Amino acid sequence: MHRFSRLSRLAALLVAIGGLVCTAAFGTDQARAATAISPNSLGVNFWYSPPDLAVASAAGVGLARVQVDSGSDADAVVELTAAAHLRLYPMLGVGVSNGPVADAAAMARYVTFFAERYGPGGSFWAQHPALPYLPVESFEIGDEPDAAPNTPGDTTTFQYGDPASYALVYQAARTALHLVDPSGQAVVGGMLDSGDVSLATAEHYLSAIGPMDAIGFHPYLYDITTMEQDTLALRQWLDVHGDSAVPLDINEFGASSQLAEWGTHVASYTAWALCTRGLDVEDVQPYTWGAIPLANTSPWYQLVDSQLNLTSLGTAYLGETAALTTQGCPAVITTTHLMPAKLRQPYHAMLTAKGAITPYSWTVHGLPKGLEATSTGIITGRPASSGTFHLAIAFTDPTAPHPTAASKRLLLRIESPRRRDHDKRSRRSGGRRASRTRGR
């Protein structure tokens, strides 16, 4: 009876996800691009063996991140995620730390084993042909190395309190990985950015590492504005320091206490991080999936509670995931203002947007007589009347599966030449009078 009730709740979750996908597809508040975001750009963190990870993949999630230490049953972890149609994103550590030099050698051996068994063409996949083939592509080396170790166990994920020690482990693992899988990514263990550990500390560690494939980043800042500011600041710092080609993996972030709007913040930050050009964020993975028995059956930081029900965080994040993976990034009108026009004189202006694929489809309402707008976003003509006109501009990506419109209101001022000439004559005559007065 208990097994039946758990399966019933799982089925209900899958139905709910179907509703999220439909709502995202037919929403009317934003236009979205025709090119969908890859599921490999969206993930979840999890612990233990949750029974319902397939709910995540049904919503478009493609990655599942969990700590896997040497000596643990990695086969079981890979089988769990693959069966749920999720690609494992392992956070690798050592079972017992014996100092940076020994840990570097141990991690090189473990990464070699992991890539040979679970990477592309790995022996695990040959032994499990019935599983979806989802080889590991990213290998995260440790976790939050810029955080000071609080317990002896923290050194198993290389929190030594010393940038050079972590760099030694990372470079050994990276070299070993590339010998087995040249295309594999050795991800720098997620750099913590929080109230206790500053972004400057993360940058100090990164400057000591040397060549990097990708950088994990954990903006535990709990405020979307600060999260965006620090993510942008890190990207700019990397660009200035010669690492513009190194992508960011936002592979963990969460809330320290219950926030009523945390789910909305997570969804908004996810779209912002993946859709902002120039950030080069390749994946976003909030903390944490949940779906395990806890004293608190509905903690605010879990996407699914222990009763296998979506929390508000889960609903918001999976809804955004469904939209991003079916419709792509929201389209945004980037034109911020229109240059003034002159009465009865030729006028030409071009509207611009981002986040969608050309050709764009535009409509403009409120233009004065003599001006017209084309579907390609060109405003042209000779205005027949002067004044200030309030324009309603709408944008649609016609190639999207279910296109919707983004809109903006802009002002267009039509200036009268006679008024302008009168002002010029007044300024000139005023200047001559001033000159004659000074001459006297």
Q: pLDDT tens digits, residue range 49-69?
A: 998 999 999 999 999 999 999
Task: List all residues 6 or more positions away from 364 whose beta carbon is below 8 Å from its beta carbon.
Answer: 351, 373, 379, 391, 392, 393, 394
pLDDT band, very low/low/confident/very high, at 36 (cuts 50, 70, 90): confident
**Are 136 and 112 within 8 A, CB to CB?**
no
Bridge-partner residues for 125, per DSSP? none
Q: Which residue has the higher pLDDT, 109 or 440?
A: 109
Q: Which residue has the higher pLDDT, 315 or 8?
A: 315
The reported pLDDT for the residue numbered 307 is 83
The average pLDDT across 190-200 equals 93
Coil, helix or strand for 411? strand
Q: What are the sequence ranges of the domains in the chain?
A: 2-328, 333-422
Q: Which residue has the higher pLDDT, 378 or 30?
A: 378
The reported pLDDT for the residue numbered 356 is 57
**Are 364 and 358 within 8 A, CB to CB?**
no
| Residue 256 DSSP class | S
pLDDT band, very low/low/confident/very high, at 426 (cuts 50, 70, 90): low
Neighbours of 99 (CB within 10 A): 10
Strands 361-365 and 341-342: unpaired
Task: List all residues 6 or more positions away from 160 whose beta carbon is below 8 Å from its beta carbon.
Answer: 100, 145, 149, 166
Only one residue has tokens 């691009």, namely 33
Coil, helix or strand for 13? helix
Q: Report the share of the chain in percent with pLDDT over 90.
A: 64
Cα–Cα distances (Å) from 203 to 81, 156, 164, 230, in that order, read 33, 22, 13, 11
Query: Matching CATH topology for 2-328 and 333-422?
Result: no
Give the Cα separation of 385 and 416 in Å (integer): 8
The reported pLDDT for the residue numbered 275 is 87
**Are 384 and 344 within 8 A, CB to CB?**
yes
**Are 227 and 221 within 8 A, CB to CB?**
yes
Proportion of the chain in helix, strand, coil states, percent, rounded to 5:
40, 20, 40
Coil, helix or strand for 84? coil
Give the Cα separation of 284 and 276 in Å (integer): 13
To 10 degrees, what angle do helices 199-209 and 163-180 make? 50
Two structure tokens written together for 75? 């086969």
For the segment 254-304, what is each residue's pLDDT rounded down to a tens digit?
876 667 788 999 999 999 999 887 999 999 999 999 987 665 555 778 999
CATH code: domain 333-422 is 2.60.40.10
CATH code: domain 2-328 is 3.20.20.80
Task: List all residues 6 or more positions away from 165 whose beta carbon is below 8 Å from its beta carbon.
Answer: 100, 158
The average pLDDT across 218-223 equals 91
Look at residues 432, 365, 326, 387 and name the one whose alpha carbon lies nearest to residue 39. 326
Two structure tokens written together for 316? 């918001």
For the segment 120-149, what is each residue's pLDDT rounded down to a tens digit?
999 999 999 999 999 999 999 999 999 988
For the segment 349-368, what is each residue's pLDDT rounded down to a tens digit?
999 877 655 567 899 999 99
| Residue 304 DSSP class | B
Give the Cα separation of 274 and 401 in Å (integer): 20
